[in-house]
Amino acid sequence: MTDFSIENFRARAARQDRDWHLSETGDFHFNPDLETLIRENAVREAAVLIGVFDAQGGPRLLLTERTTTLRSHSGQIALPGGRADEGDRSFEETAMRECEEETGIGVDNLEIVGRLPAYLSGSGYRIHPIMAVISGDYQLKPNPDEVAAIFHVPLSFLMDEQNHVKADRDWQGRRRYFYEMPYENRYIWGVTAGILRVMYERLYID
């Protein structure tokens, strides 16, 4: 049986630091025919925080629902994160800054434990997924301009391949494949599900 404890997550995440920069992945991971196009367009640097915290019943992973007023990806489920600022000293700093701006969870409550390979999105971003353990006392404060809701999903659910549904749709005249991870009344899909799928493949396939 797979161990989904915080200690095990921390150990699995730490092992990824050695070669994260050698193995970029992205939407082309599921759509090889789009790889050249996606690589050429992914020029904007961004970072997201994969935050896991201990809870009754087992560790859970933090997610947000974007407001419907945002210009891009409105209403979608997302990991806390955003574009890198010129003053950011690292992508870890970007991810932590964005997490605090969006959720109220600050650096004092975040233990960075590793990162995954950069994820290149079809929307033009090179996204750096930063893995962290959330702990201590904090108060969730969703940024009303960006976040409609903050919620969490069991890590064991998201890292179970049986809950990964491969779907497809037409996109600019091509068939595009992506993952869905429906949970209760939440529809997790697209880049967020793609990053979580890569996390599953990198951390939880022994």
Domain residue ranges of the chain, discontinuous segments joined by +: 6-203
| CA atoms of 176 and 169, how far apart (whole Å) | 5
Lowest average pLDDT, out of 9-23, 139-153, 155-169, goes to: 9-23
User: Which residue would you say has higher pLDDT here, 71 or 38?
Assistant: 38
Query: Which residues lie closer than 8 Å to 161 by C-beta, 6 or more apart?
Result: 200
Residue 36: how many CA atoms within 13 Å on its side-chain side? 1
Residue 64, CA distances (Å) to 22, 32, 61, 103, 150 in order: 29, 29, 10, 8, 4
| CA atoms of 17 and 22, how far apart (whole Å) | 10
pTM for the structure as a whole: 0.91
Q: What percent of the chain has pLDDT over 90?
A: 63
Lowest average pLDDT, out of 12-26, 42-56, 156-170, goes to: 12-26
What fold is seen in the domain 6-203? Nucleoside Triphosphate Pyrophosphohydrolase (3.90.79)
Compute the mean pLDDT over every residue in the chain, rounded to the nearest whole number: 89
pLDDT for residue 200 is more than 70: yes
Residue 17, pLDDT score: 62
Contact (CB, 8 A) for 129 and 50: yes
For 34, other C-beta atoms within 10 Å of its C-beta total 19
pLDDT for residue 140 is more than 90: yes
pLDDT for residue 188 is more than 70: yes
Residue 47: how many CA atoms within 13 Å on its side-chain side? 22
Q: What is the pLDDT of residues 171-184, one digit of tens each?
A: 667 778 889 999 99
**pLDDT band with cut points at 50, 70 and 90 for residue 159:** very high
**pLDDT band with cut points at 50, 70 and 90 for residue 20:** low
| CA atoms of 10 and 6, how far apart (whole Å) | 6
| CA atoms of 79 and 129, how far apart (whole Å) | 9
